[in-house]
Chains A and B, each alone.
Chain A
Amino acid sequence: SQQGEEDPQALSIQEGENATMNCSYKTSINNLQWYRQNSGRGLVHLILIRSNEREKHSGRLRVTLDTSKKSSSLLITASRAADTASYFCAVDNFNKFYFGSGTKLNVKP
């Protein structure tokens, strides 16, 4: 499969802690994206990292990409209860993106 696969499947942390989610994929990519989904809602685009980039920041989010290992990580710093959601990585494949099964993050207040 060319999908991204997230790890862990579920993560539970205390508010204020950092959360790290990983994504592995199998093919060459042009870019990789991370999305958030609250229960029963649509997906919200968080960040896009191009294949020639190694790290990108957006607010409390930090994304890394290692194309040699075909992996990416999403770090959420100083987590808040409102960060509770499922997080998906999406890898591009000829102008469309394939999603993994997601990491379910629970941030306890």
Chain B
Amino acid sequence: DTGVSQDPRHKITKRGQNVTFRCDPISEHNRLYWYRQTLGQGPEFLTYFQNEAQLEKSRLLSDRFSAERPKGSFSTLEIQRTEQGDSAMYLCASSLGGILYGYTFGSGTRLTVV
């Protein structure tokens, strides 16, 4: 499969627990993005990487959220001390970089905090 893979597809967790999601981008794509989407809304930008460097983080990304892309390939998004308001679809996308290319999105990880 040469698309963007996200794991797991679904995650149900109890409030206060930590969760980690993984994204495997298209191998030749040097840019990787994380978005969050709630029901009926468009995706909201969280953060993006150029290779292993995290270039920007949204104000939405509180200190409970951390993202890494250690070798410039796969990325992880960790949420510590989850809250019910964290329930959403977390989408990963990759691109060749620059503003002339579209994103390729993964299928997302749906997080439910109970």
Binding site for B on A (CB under 8 A): 3, 30-31, 33, 35, 40-45, 48, 50, 88, 92, 94-102
Contacts and interface: CB of A to CB of B under 8 A. Distances in A.
Given A41-B107, A43-B105, A44-B105, A92 B42 contact: no
B42 A42 contact: no
A42 B107 CA distance: 4
B106 interface: yes
A99 B46 CA distance: 12
Contacts of A45: 102-105
Contacts of B31: 95
Given A42-B106, A45-B103, A97 B45 contact: yes
Interface of B: 4, 31, 33, 35, 40-45, 48, 55-56, 89, 91, 93, 97-108, 110
Contacts of B41: 101-102
A50 B45 contact: no
Query: In terms of DSSP, what is the predominant structure of the interface of chain A?
Result: strand
Contacts of B99: 30-31, 92, 95
A6 to B, nearest CB: 8
A99 B102 contact: no
Top 7 nearest A-B pairs by Cβ distance? A99-B42, A45-B102, A42-B105, A43-B105, A42-B107, A30-B99, A99-B43
B48 A96 contact: yes
A97 B42 contact: no
Nearest to A43: B105
A21 to B, nearest CB: 13
A50 B100 contact: yes
Contacts of A41: 107-108
Q: Which of B45, B89, B110 has the most CB of A within 10 A?
A: B45
A100 B43 CA distance: 8
A88 B40 CA distance: 11
Contacts of A88: 42-43
B45 A43 contact: no
A101 B45 contact: no
A97 B104 CA distance: 13
